Chain A
C-alpha cells in the first residue's frame, strides 16, 4: 500500500504505479492535463516510465475559464 498526495488530498493505492497508470485510475485518459511531481513537471512522454512512490506529492492541472 502506498499513499500519494494528489492536489493536496491523500489517496491510497495498492501498489507502486506509474503516472500513466494513475491517469488511467483517475479516468484522465483522453483529457489534456499536466502533472507536477514533487515540484517538478513530468512531461507527457515520460508518463509511462515515471514511477510514483509512497509519500510523493502530485499536482494535476487542466485549463479552465479565466480572465
Chain B
C-alpha cells in the first residue's frame, strides 16, 4: 500500500483526525484521549487569564506541549469578524507567530450555526495578514467555493450542529463541496459516533474534526481510539473504491456451478 499522507498548509501529517481539547474531566483525561485518538492537530480556545486564580495551576500547555502537537487556535464564541480577527491575532502572539488557525464565526447562540457573511469578511482579512485559515462553515457549496477563492487552506463544513452528535445530515452537499474543492475538506462538527466519521471519510473528506463525540462519550479514551480506527477505515475504503451498488440484482459470491444435484 502506498503511504497516504495528509497535507495542510504545506505541512504533512499522518493522522486525518483532528480533535478538540474541551469538555474533558481534567487535563490528564484530555491527554489520554488525544493519545488514543492519534491526532496530531489539536484545537484550543483563547480566553482571558483568570487573574489571581492561575498562579501555580497547571495549564493545558503543560499536558499538550506545542512541541508535540500542532495547535489549531479557534475563534469559538466569536459572533463578529472583528472579534474573530482580534482573537486570532492574540493567538498568533501567544503561540510565537503561529499561523495555522481555525476560523469560526457564529450566528446564533442556540444552534451555533455559522454566520457566513462575517466568516467571509474575517477570512479575507486573515488570509491577507498571512494566516493559514481552516474555516468552519455551513455546507453550502457556493460559500465553500468563495472561501476557497479567498485563500482559505481548508474548508470545514458542518455535518450537523456543533455538539449535537446528529451525524452527517446532508451527504449530498458534502459531496458537492468535496468534488469542487482543490483544498482539503474536513467535516467539522456534528459527528456523534464512529460510523459518522467513517461515512464522512468514505464520501471523500480529507479529514474529520471533532470534540464532543469523544469528550462526551461514556468512556472518552475508548471512543478516541474508535474514532482513530473509524477515520482510518473510512479513508481506506474511499481509496479502495467501493463496489457499485446493484439494486434488485443478487450476485452470489459462491460459484453457481458444481452444486450437488437436486433429486
Q: Which residues in A have some Cβ–Cβ distance to B below 8 Å?
A: 6-9, 26-28, 31-36, 39, 41, 43-44, 59-67
Contact = CB atoms under 8 A, between A and B. Distances in A.
Pick the most buried of A8, A26, A32, A36: most chain B CB atoms within 10 A of its CB. Answer: A32
Contacts of B125: none
Interface of B: 20-24, 27, 30, 43-49, 51-52, 54-55, 59-61, 71, 73-74, 76, 86, 89-91, 93-95, 162-163, 210-212
A65 B60 contact: yes
A41 B90 contact: yes
A67 B93 contact: no
Contact of A31 (B22, B59, B76, B210): B59
A30 B32 CA distance: 25
6 contacts: A41-B89, A63-B44, A64-B46, A66-B20, A66-B74, A67-B212
A60 B71 contact: no
Contacts of B59: 31-32, 62-63
B51 A33 contact: no
Given A64-B60, A65-B30, A27 B46 contact: no
Given A36-B90, A41-B90, A26 B74 contact: no
A27 to B, nearest CB: 4
Given A63-B60, A65-B22, 17 more contacts: A8-B48, A34-B91, A36-B90, A41-B93, A61-B48, A61-B94, A62-B46, A62-B47, A63-B59, A63-B95, A64-B46, A64-B47, A64-B60, A65-B20, A66-B211, A67-B210, A67-B212
